[in-house]
Amino acid sequence: MADPVSYARLQKRLTPAARVTVITGAGVSAASGVPTFRGPDGLWQSFRAEDLATPEAFARDPYLVWQWYDWRRQKIAACEPNIAHHVLASWQHQFASFTLVTQNVDGLHERAGSENVLRMHGSIWEVGCSRDCGKVPHRWRDDTVPFVALPPRCPQCDAPLRPGVVWFGEALDPDIVERCLMATNCDVFLIVGTSAVVYPAAGLVDHARRHGALTVEINPESTPATRSVDVAIAEPAEVVFPRLHDRLFS
């Protein structure tokens, strides 16, 4: 178990009056069976991101890109939220303010009951018209698993639909980014299950520290964030969150 001092420091600041912000990465869903990206069995070990997760890759071969996303949707659909997702969902009304930011597109936070999740990289459960024809919403939810034909087509202009995720090289939703930055003005900032190498998500912890937040990393491995956080708990999220929850609320 991580040293009890780490838990005590965090527990002391997690009071009902606290403003709490959490950012999660793929590690929070690892216990649910959703592959991470950069771990030993990570998706980027078996696939090349530039072949599958860029606008250029999609323009080059929408069928190949959709084969990969349709496979990931099927895999994720078979996964359940784990205890870390459930504890985070239960915390949303326990503090003066609670903001959950995620880099994940798997939707497991929402399936566990988290509301108003700030999804920095979009959702694998949303689609949009790749031609932005304007005759359909920018993004809408489509739970079809698996799609009968790939790529799925825009119902209005018949262009290929695209996954509602943010690809490498694409801009994030500026409104989401602004709300994430505002949420770094908090008392406790938890960075959970992320390799902290993809910006702007990885930069939020620095903003939180400048706002005077207690910054805490929860990750079995060290990352570029480890040396700059106040507390580093080198344990899996599915171990830390129930343990923290018991200390705080039982």
By CB under 6 A, residue 26 contacts ligand APR = yes
* Stretch of residues binding ligand APR (CB under 6 A), selected from 31-39, 60-68, 169-177, 181-189: 31-39
Give the end-to-end CA distance of the chain in Å, rounded to a whole number.
Answer: 19
Name the packing angle between helices 237-249 and 83-90 (round to 10°): 40
Which residues partner with 102 through β-bridges?
24, 119
Closest-by-Cβ residue to ligand APR is 27
121 is catalytic: yes
Q: Minimum Å distance from CB 202 to ligand APR?
A: 8
| Angle subtended by helix axes 4-13 and 237-249, to nearest 10 | 60
Residue 230 C-beta: closest distance to ligand APR, Å: 18
Residues in 113-142 that interact with ligand APR by CB under 6 A: 121
Is residue 152 close enough to count as binding ligand APR by CB under 6 A? no
Locate all alpha helices (DSSP H) within 21-131, ordered by sequence. 43-46, 49-52, 55-60, 62-77, 83-90, 108-111
Contact pattern for ligand APR over residues 189 through 228, marking x by CB under 6 A: ----xxx--x-------------------xxxx-x-----
* Residues whose CB is less than 8 angstroms from the CB of residue 170 and which lie 6 or more positions away in sequence, other chains included: 55
The catalytic site residues sit at 121
